[in-house]
Amino acid sequence: MRTAAVPQKVKDRAEVIRLNAHGWYVEKIAAHFNWTPQTVREVLHKWSNLGMEGLWELPGRGAKQTWKEEDIEFLKECLKNESRTYNSLQLVQKLEKERSVKLSADRLRRILKKKGLFGNEREKVTKKNKTR
């Protein structure tokens, strides 16, 4: 059975609790982690109020994804089936027009590159590879 990896922040918070249980003062723990004493106090208060749940990040942190995997599949099909070439700005416009998904060209480039669909090698546009 595989278990999920524990984030470093959670490990650090557990270590704060362990050090406090061994008699370390808040200021000493803060210096050890290069944190502010207030941060250490917050960790200790969450531990005493919430127990194990206090160690973990709350859900909903960070920006929500505005695109779905189906949107990338849509772009992949367009690139495969259509005879023209697109730049990232044109793909963003197509995605917004046909799927109502707003992304910046930079963001779309990063997504496509991460998925291995775009930007891995430079290919010179010729009639041969444009008509694929």
Q: From CA 99, how far away is CA 94, in angstroms rounded?
A: 8
Helix ranges (DSSP H) in the chain:
8-21, 26-33, 37-50, 69-81, 88-99, 105-114, 127-130
Structure tokens at 61: 């942190």
Tokens 């406090």 label which residue?
20
What's the CA angle centered on 38, arms 32 and 56, to 5 degrees?
A: 80
Mean pLDDT of the chain: 84
Residue range 14-71, pLDDT digits in tens:
999 999 999 999 999 999 999 999 999 999 999 999 999 888 887 776 777 888 889 8
Cα distance between residue 28 and residue 40, in whole Å: 10
Q: Is the pLDDT of residue 1 over 70?
A: no
| pLDDT at res. 2 | 55
**Contact 9/57 with Cβ under 8 angstroms?**
yes
